[in-house]
Amino acid sequence: MTGDKLVVENLNAWYGKTHAVQDISLSFPDKRATAIIGPSGCGKSTFIRCLNRIHETQPKARAEGKVLLDGADVYADDPTEIRRKIGMVFQRPNVFPTMSIYGNVAAGLKLHGGYSHDEMDRLVIESLKKAALWEEVKEKLDQSALQLSGGQQQRLCIARALAVQPEVLLMDEPASALDPISTARIEDLIFDLKNQVPVVIVTHNMQQAARVADRTAFLYLGKLVEVAPTRDLFERPAEKLTESYITGRFG
Amino acid sequence: MRPPKRLRRRVKSAVLLGLCATAVLITLLPLASILLECFVNGAGAITPAFFLQNPPPPCNPGPTTPCPVGGIQDALLGTLLLVVVASLIALPVGILGGIYLSEFQDRPLARPARFLADVMTGIPSIVIGVFVFGIFLFFAEQGWISSFSITSGYTGAVALAVIMIPVVARTCEEALRLVPVSIREASLALGIPRHRTILRIVLSAARGGVITGALLAVARAGGETAPLLLTAGFTTGAITGLSGWTPSLPVLIYYSAAGGYANTTQLAWGAALMLVLIMLLISVGARLALRNKFGGRTA
Ligand SMILES: Nc1ncnc2c1ncn2[C@@H]1O[C@H](COP(=O)(O)OP(=O)(O)OP(=O)(O)O)[C@@H](O)[C@H]1O
Ligand SMILES: [Mg+2]
């Protein structure tokens, strides 16, 4: 398919002998948000962690298959370069505890080097604005990131990921630890962000998938069962398995 | 009516609390009495001259003979020099070793290295003194160093460094392990290379523990006597850099207290008080350093 930013072909992933992701092929078009749903333990996190090659940083973890970013094989490139291009937001906010709010957002830029102070300031402000956090923190950029609330910390993590100008954004249940208001803000954010970069979001919340995603993929026991435009998947699932999952009649 | 069970629980709780409080008292008692004893016996020796003189010949005061207490000038300087040079060796080696133990656990060398570090912390320090002395003796026999350098400040600093390295490495390892995987992943996911993630993100997140470990090691080295007896030597004269016999506070205390003369005993008490105060200063300094710049304490 042309126009796909990220293409996954026959991806397999293991933890030791556990075959967590089994032969998944899936592509992610530009300027779209794709949701990944499925029961706990079906391999959603493992799958997206293979896309930016974070999976292989764990002991005994291994991946095989092809992931193409703009047609170039991610697994043939330098992993640090890939991780800069494919950003990731985790389930729990993981701010750098000894850094200020500004320092957190600037961390990627600083440690990559090659940015002037003005550029850095501009990118930090821009990212905080995109992450809908600027108004809340503009007066206290030099204060500890730990003093922010959980929802603010998560938006800070989003800003931090955006600051290095990724070409794809992966999000692993980014709102699952948050209250409804923070969740709504993050959903709005995803809705805006997807116009700039393709967003892949893992979620347990089917309403959330329906609200933010253009396409939804259903995973079960490490395999891809079905992928379709979100509305079709929820209203007319092609597979029996998908239907029983989304209607809550499972097992 | 109150059920008797609840009463029994209250009594149990009170007894246990009492036991804990007693244990705390027992722990603090020796510490308090050491401090008190040092102050009572040593405070009198500490005058400005105490810092500007060296140990006197031993004597007991008579009606006509003057019997000065002397001072610790060069021993204090010697201890500072020894500890600084030992730290220059031990901190980089220890911290890098700690990083290896914590961040490269899956490497085949990690387990034996950790075991070795644990064994090393348990080796009596006099043995380390003998060991380092032996090594320098060997160097001298080979003609690599002058035989005058066997007993020198450098040898002493190496002996202190050998004592410090395993302490620094193991505390650094523990501190790094406390940094959650999620912080490492956050950094890696930004495309920050592994070495920079470790040195700039993980080490920074663990800095509280690393600094504590370093200061613990410094304090330990500053108070060591046995390894210095064989390596740094001692002199009541002036210090000549680290290349010759180098006096230090603990060894000064050792020699001064031994004779039973009034003036050197007084000097030993003064030196002991100074040593205790320096250690206190270091640990208070550590606590202040650990308050991070945002006002809270880091882990
Ligand atoms: N670090 C690990 N070591 C060993 N096995 C793991 C590890 N992480 C995950 N697994 C296994 O891999 C499988 C897939 O896990 P994964 O975390 O990808 O599931 P998930 O779909 O994200 O689940 P959840 O919705 O609960 O987050 C599970 O069977 C899990 O037990
Ligand atoms: Mg998961």
Q: Which of B188, B204, B296 sits opposite A54 (nearest CB)?
A: B188
Secondary structure (3-state) at B41: helix
DSSP state of A74: G
Distance CA B30, CA B171 (A): 26
Pocket test for ligand 1, best of A46, A88, A200, A219 (most atoms within 8 A of CB): A46
- The mean pLDDT value of chain B amounts to 90
A103 Cβ contact list (under 8 Å, min separation 6): A96, A110, A145
Pocket test for ligand 1, best of A12, A18, A19, A22 (most atoms within 8 A of CB): A18
A30 C-alpha to ligand 1 centroid (Å)? 28
Pair A177, A92: CB distance under 8 Å: yes
Q: Which helix or strand (DSSP H or E) is residue A13 part of?
A: strand A4-15
Distance CA B6, CA B3 (A): 6
Per cent of chain B over pLDDT 70 is 95
Distance CA A130, CA A104 (A): 15
Distance CA A233, CA A219 (A): 12
Q: Does B182 touch chain A (CB under 8 A)?
A: yes
User: Quick check: CB of A82 below 6 Å from ligand 1?
Assistant: no
How far, in Å, are A90, A187, A219, A220, B26 from residue A233 at the CA level?
A: 25, 20, 12, 15, 70
What pLDDT score was predicted for residue B105? 87
What is the edge-to-edge ordering of all strands in the sheet holding A86-89? Answer: A86-89, A168-172, A199-202, A33-37, A215-220, A223-229
Pair B84, B156: CB distance under 8 Å: no
Which ligand lies nearest the alpha carbon of A171? 2
Phi, psi of B297 (to 5 degrees): -90, 140
Confidence band (pLDDT; 50, 70, 90) for B297?
A: very low
For the cut 70, the answer to whether the pLDDT of residue B294 exceeds it is: no
Bridging pattern class, strands A18-29 and A33-37: unpaired
Distance CA B211, CA B290 (A): 8
Distance CA A103, CA A105 (A): 6
User: Quick check: CB of A43 below 6 Å from ligand 1?
Assistant: yes
Residue of A125, A135, A123, A203 whose CA lies nearest to A166: A123
Pair B255, B72: CB distance under 8 Å: no
For the cut 50, the answer to whether the pLDDT of residue B298 exceeds it is: no
Bridging pattern class, strands A168-172 and A86-89: parallel
User: Which positions of chain A have pLDDT values less than 70?
Assistant: 1-2, 251
Pocket test for ligand 1, best of A36, A44, A48 (most atoms within 8 A of CB): A44
Structure tokens at B148: 């005058």
Nearest-Cα distance to chain B for A230, in Å, is 28
Contacts of A51 in chain B (CB under 8 A): none
Which residues are in the CB-under-5-Å shell of ion ligand 2?
Answer: A 45
What pLDDT score was predicted for residue A248? 83
How far, in Å, are A36, A98, A106, A160 from residue A102 at the CA level?
A: 32, 12, 6, 9
The CATH code that applies to domain A4-246 is 3.40.50.300
Q: Which residue pairs, CB below 8 angstroms and at least 24 apart, start in A188-193?
A: A188/A132, A189/A130, A189/A131, A189/A132, A189/A155, A189/A158, A190/A33, A191/A33, A192/A130, A193/A33, A193/A130, A193/A162, A193/A169
Query: What's this model's pTM, rounded to 2 decimal places?
Result: 0.85
Q: Would you give the distance in Å from CA A21 to the centre of its chain? A: 17
| Per-domain boundaries in chain A | 4-246
Interface ipTM > 0.85: yes
Distance CA A23, CA A10 (A): 4
Q: Pick the residue whose CA is nearest to atom 19 on ligand 1.
A: A41
User: Quick check: CB of A46 below 6 Å from ligand 1?
Assistant: yes
What pLDDT score was predicted for residue A25? 96
Residue of B120, B100, B119 whose CA lies nearest to B109: B100
Which ligand lies nearest the alpha carbon of A60? 1
Segment B208-243, tens digit of pLDDT:
889 888 998 999 999 999 999 999 989 888 888 888
For the cut 70, the answer to whether the pLDDT of residue B296 exceeds it is: no
What pLDDT score was predicted for residue B79? 95
Distance CA B114, CA B119 (A): 9
| pLDDT (mean) for B278-282 | 87
Rg (CA), chain A: 18
Nearest atom in ligand 1 to A39's CA: 25
The answer to whether the CB atoms of A80 and B191 lie below 8 A apart is yes
Q: Would you give the distance in Å from CA B211 to the centre of its chain? A: 13
Domains, chain B: 73-294 (1.10.3720.10)
Distance CA B274, CA B276 (A): 5
Q: Which of B183, B191, B205 sits opposite A112 (nearest CB)?
A: B191
Pair B227, B132: CB distance under 8 Å: yes
